[in-house]
Amino acid sequence: EIPHKRGFPNKSTKLRLACLALEEIFGRENLDLLFGSQDDDDDDDDTVGRQLAPAEPVSYLGGLLWTLETYRTGKCIDYGYNYGRKSSPSALELATLLENRGGQKISRFDLIGDSDVAPLSDGMSCLAALPPQAHSILEEPYSWLVEPSSRANFEEMYNSCFSEGVFDSKSFADKCSKQILNLRSERQISKAESAKRRLTASTNSRGRHIQSSSKYWTVLSMSRRPLDHPYAPPDPICDRTPRLKSNKRVRASKLPVSHASPPPVI
């Protein structure tokens, strides 16, 4: 059990509960090795959102119904329900609500509505619920969002999904998906630029390097026309051996290694 002060946000309490669960699973001595030091978190959650929003008796009763139906049916009845960061109503507020309703019945629709919000994926759920110390267990592409270079943008995006203390899971999923697409595009561009740089390096003034491998024969032949990107001659076997001159008509190809000798070069 973790003590929690009434009127303070739940985030720090949930973080401490998550740390206890991680200690139970991995052992205290392995936490720093797996997730890094837990003393580096400078966030003071008790200073953020200290004041809770006013209570909403109708939404609170809807939460009770939501919990009962979820336990009764064994599945979440409405992924769109979220009581948010609000105070719990007092007994007097609940009694006043029922008194004002008089003899009118309060339907299920009145309490929790009829929203049709899809559940978050496993990766999205981990992003929304895991403490920063456990972000290392996230898999790609979700881990891209919490890398050091994009961590600040993720925190800003996460906080923007709260409206009056209510977390908008659909907005969170949409923003995460859009950001993942952008990061995927950036990574593809970066890979293309890296490949281009490698190609440029291999086609410099000295020519392309002939890559040797134990799985392929390297076959040299002569081209009738000079190559646009000729191959560079191999490096001398010793300092006293002069460097070979480049020949723009020498062409290199590869054949899979077999027990037989390579075909003769004509």
262 assigned to some structural domain: no
User: Which domain, by its residues, includes 231?
Assistant: 208-256
Same domain for 178 and 137? yes
Same domain for 134 and 172? yes
221 assigned to some structural domain: yes
Same domain for 185 and 243? no
CB 233 within 8 Å of CB 210:
no
In this prediction the pTM is: 0.47
Same domain for 196 and 134? yes
Higher pLDDT, 25 or 142: 142
17 assigned to some structural domain: no
184 assigned to some structural domain: yes
pLDDT tens readout for residues 192-251: 877 766 665 555 445 566 666 777 788 888 888 888 777 777 777 777 778 777 788 888
Burial class (CB in 10 A: 0-12, 13-18, 19+), 34: middle
Task: Report phi then psi at 180, rounded to 5.
Answer: -65, -40
Quick count: other Cβ atoms within 10 Å of Cβ 174?
12
pLDDT tens readout for residues 2-15: 566 666 666 677 77
- Total number of domains constituting the chain: 2
Which H or E run includes 253? Answer: strand 250-256
CB 130 within 8 Å of CB 123:
no
